[in-house]
Amino acid sequence: MDRIRTRVCLIVCCLALAGCVKPVDCNAVGELNVGTSTIQDANARLGKPTNQSLGEGGTSMLRWESTTHVYTGGGSSTVIQLTFGSDGKLMNKSCTTKVIPPLVKEPAA
């Protein structure tokens, strides 16, 4: 009985935490302008990045990732990547969304 309670508690906790992740949106990237937008602008629009790294010459690469899904019905994965120059201005931006196919296929009619 304790194993069942532990598993149920774990599942409930996982579902609660899944609701805490803010999905990223490619439309927000369109509001950022190369040459003028700053890291602060990106954080204001997208929230805290999932990953941040320093590149050559003082550049910074910020990355936001999110996955939305309906447990067996598929979903999508979105990755936003922004590169900022040593002056803190946006140099390059990209947003990619991939469709995740359903785990369970619908029966043929």
Q: Where are the domains of the chain?
A: 22-100
> What distance in Å separates the CA atoms of residue 43 and residue 41, rounded to the nearest whole number?
6
Q: How many CB atoms lie within 10 A of CB 40?
A: 9
pTM score, whole prediction: 0.68
User: Which string of b and e fits 69-85 if b means at least 16 CB within 10 Å?
Assistant: eeeeeeeeebbbbbbbe
Please indicate whether residue 25 or residue 19 has the higher confidence score (pLDDT). 25
The architecture of the domain spanning 22-100 is 2-Layer Sandwich (3.30)
How confident is residue 63, by pLDDT bands cut at 50, 70 and 90?
very high
How confident is residue 101, by pLDDT bands cut at 50, 70 and 90?
confident
Average pLDDT over residues 9-35: 65
Three-state secondary-structure class, residue 84: strand
